[in-house]
Amino acid sequence: MKDSFLTGNFQVANATVPLVSTELHSADFWGAVMVRWGFNRDNYRVSPGLYAVGNPDQSSDVFVTANYKLSFDTLRKSLSGINGWILVLDTNGINVWCAAGKGTFGTNELIRKIRQASLEKVIHHKRIILPQLGATGVAAHKIKEETGFNVQYGPVRASDIKKFIKNGYRADKEMRRVTFRFMDRIKLISNDLLYGKFYLLGAIAIILAISGVAKDGFAFRNLFDKGSEAIINLFFAYISGIVITPMFLPYIPGRSFAMKGFLCGSLTFIILLLSGMTGSNLFENLSWFLIITAVSSFMAMNFTGSSTFTSLSGVKKEMRFSMPVQIGFAVAGVILQVIGKIL
């Protein structure tokens, strides 16, 4: 990685600390776009350790973050005009919240990095500011016990840092609460779209094989006629579950994601039915209803992992109910598809 964000070095307490810019450049922007589309996603990192922003001194604040470059960029951009320190933990290039859930943005790693940076020599106060979502991995009282530093949980979003400081290092309720707005969801869709590509290819392979089925056996000419129709139906079912359902998440009835995906899939089926895409007899129509809703529901259920408010207990509960239904629908759909073709 070309570290274009480094602008020089900063001397402090016999140590040299890299100085970073608070401005994002086109390389940062395009890097972010690439990562959102899955390129270089597992290696979008910065070196862990201590960095300086602005012109910090021993009374400046320390902000802790993960070594995922998107997290690091978001933080440094939010620190424009602030003189401070950034302490980057080694989270294997994973963002703060995910890494905290795994424990890599964790108590032990923070203790390690505080010691490696000799933080007690760099600053003469005892406050370090962590993103609130890091709390899933860090026990503040243990950091105090081990290092003497007081962990102060800042706001959820780095963009609130200035407001947080202005408030006398207090986050109000709005800063503390995680949201999941339209734009937050849109940003995730590209990656989720790619996530299920093997499911989609597998489903297309199965449905193509069925498309060849005819009254008199198997006919390759059907692969092109019926097959292209089948691929389009599956593709829309997939989009319904992983793009449309997340986009309109709060407005689709139902609590469980599987139900939301099923409803969205039903609507997709109706549109395809009216477009004449779902076969020529009742068996084929019904078959497509079952397949499209099953695919849409399953893919929507997978979006639980990208959301910011689903719990392990809740997802388990919805899976226990909906996975047998999804599998049943898919199997029944495939059987009806074959029957519809032979009739």
Block residue for tokens 């020089």: 8
Tokens 């890494």 belong to residue: 99
Tokens of 75: 């933080």
> Does 71 interact with other proteins (rule: CB under 8 A)?
no
DSSP state of 255: S
Which two structure tokens, joined as six digits, stand for 38? Answer: 């899955």
> At residue 16, what are phi and psi to the nearest 5 degrees?
-105, 120
CB of 304 to other proteins, least distance (A): 5
Interior CA angle at 337 toward 331 and 228, to 5°? Answer: 110
Residue 54 or 254 with smaller CB distance to other proteins? 254
For other proteins, which is the closer residue by CB, 52 or 100? 100
Q: Per-residue contact track with other proteins, 35 to 64, x per CB under 8 A?
A: -------x----------------------
Give 282's contacts (C-beta < 8 A, 6+ positions apart).
none
Stretch of 1-9, 56-64, 100-108, 263-271 lying at the interface with other proteins (CB under 8 A): 100-108
319 sits near other proteins (criterion: CB under 8 A): yes
Minimum CB separation of residue 325 from other proteins in Å reads 14
Q: What is the DSSP letter of 43?
A: G
Binding piece for other proteins, criterion CB under 8 A, among 20-28, 74-82, 101-109, 328-336: 101-109
Residue with tokens 């590209």: 190
**Which residues inside 103-162 make contact with other proteins, applying CB under 8 A?**
104, 132-133, 135-141, 153, 156
Rounded CA-CA distance 286/332 in Å is 9
* CA atoms of 37 and 30, how far apart (whole Å): 11
Nearer residue to other proteins within complex by CB, 147 or 307: 307
**Smallest distance from other proteins to CB 167, Å:** 13
Residue with tokens 């397949």: 291
Instruction: Select from 257, 262, 283, 289 the one that contacts other proteins (CB under 8 A).
Output: 257
Residue of the chain from 78, 95, 211, 337 that contacts other proteins (CB under 8 A): 95
Closest CA to 234 of 195, 206, 276, 275: 206
- Contact positions vs other proteins (CB under 8 A): 42, 91-95, 98-102, 104, 132-133, 135-141, 153, 156, 171, 173, 176-182, 191-192, 195, 249-250, 255-257, 301-302, 304-319
